[in-house]
Amino acid sequence: MQSKHRIFVSVENNAYCGWQSKLFYFSSVTRLSHQPIFIVHDSGRSRHSDFDDLIRAGATICSAPSYAQSVHDVYLPRNTAGSLIHAAEMCGKDDLIVLCDPDMIFLGDPDLPNSLSVNYYSYMNYDRPEVLDAMQKLNISRDLVEKQREELRGGVPYVIPASVARPLGTTWLETVDAFPPRKWIDIMHAFGLAATKLGLQVTRTDVVDVNLKPATRPQHKIIHYCYGDNLWDKRFFMHENDLEQLWFPRVWAEEKTMLAEILTQIVEAREFYQNLR
């Protein structure tokens, strides 16, 4: 990563995102020597204690309003686009925003580009009926999408030049609202449509391993633990009373596998935060 790259993490104010944010921060400062910024969206409740732990560790926590409510429904992924708007306000014009989800850890420097980019996710498909319907509602020509269709098949980490971040974030909110009823993946397709609508050229990276097969060795420098299995799944730890089992894992994984790396960093992070008290 270059000095102009600035990592921002879009998170909800709850226990589920709190522990992921603590793990993300630990991973970023120990594996990248990089200080990420967390944009925590209003939930109507006081700030979760995990974010206080992050502040004690030296993290920057920025409060932001919730963008989840639209004219159609409440859709939490809208907050990712809202985070981009707020990140733009904290950056210089030459900075590069690296927009992440909290359920990611680092193994080293992912060597991100210095231009607008998305990371490749194979399940992205701009021929899905709901995406085609959204294009029609937004008056986006299918031919325009086809020109960089493969490059648009991606998601986090998004690399976004700060100079285009605010208009892109605003347009992203507009394009995702063309998708109701919405699924979690629609925020990703909406990013591609927003970039297309603004005439922006997107490149595609491949710097992430997802934990679809957690017993395999990682090939890249980022693990996105968005999947899970019967042995370990981030969704096992959604509530406050689940966190003891998270920080004191009782599962075993073969060395150098994705699951082993996740568990190792969890244990190291637990000790890191305990030593701050």
Q: Are 18 and 256 in contact (CB under 8 A)?
A: no
The pLDDT score that the predictor gives to residue 72 is 85
Q: Are 257 and 214 in contact (CB under 8 A)?
A: yes
The pLDDT score that the predictor gives to residue 67 is 97
The pLDDT score that the predictor gives to residue 138 is 98
pLDDT band at 78 (very low <50, low <70, confident <90, very high): very high
Q: What's the average model confidence in pLDDT over 221-236?
A: 98
What does the CA dihedral 23, 26, 31, 36 come to, rounded to 10 degrees?
Answer: 100
The CA distance from 247 to 269, in Å, is: 8
The pLDDT score that the predictor gives to residue 1 is 83
Region at 220 (left for phi over 0; alpha for psi -120 to 50; beta for the rest) = beta
Selection from 28, 43, 18 nearest residue 234 by Cα: 18
pLDDT band at 139 (very low <50, low <70, confident <90, very high): very high
The CA distance from 81 to 143, in Å, is: 25
The pLDDT score that the predictor gives to residue 2 is 87
Q: What's the average model confidence in pLDDT over 90-104?
A: 97
pLDDT band at 86 (very low <50, low <70, confident <90, very high): very high
The pLDDT score that the predictor gives to residue 224 is 98
Q: What's the average model confidence in pLDDT over 227-247?
A: 97
Classify residue 19 by its DSSP letter.
H
pLDDT at residue 277 greater than cutoff 80: no
The pLDDT score that the predictor gives to residue 180 is 82
Q: DSSP string of 180-209? A: -S--TTHHHHHHHHHHHHTT---EEE--EE
Q: What's the average model confidence in pLDDT over 141-146?
A: 96
Selection from 83, 84, 40 nearest residue 60 by Cα: 40
Sign of CA dihedral 97, 119, 124, 260: negative
| CATH class name, domain 5-207 | alpha beta
Q: Are 235 and 211 in contact (CB under 8 A)?
A: no
pLDDT at residue 26 greater than cutoff 90: yes
Enter the tokens of residue 89: 């306000």
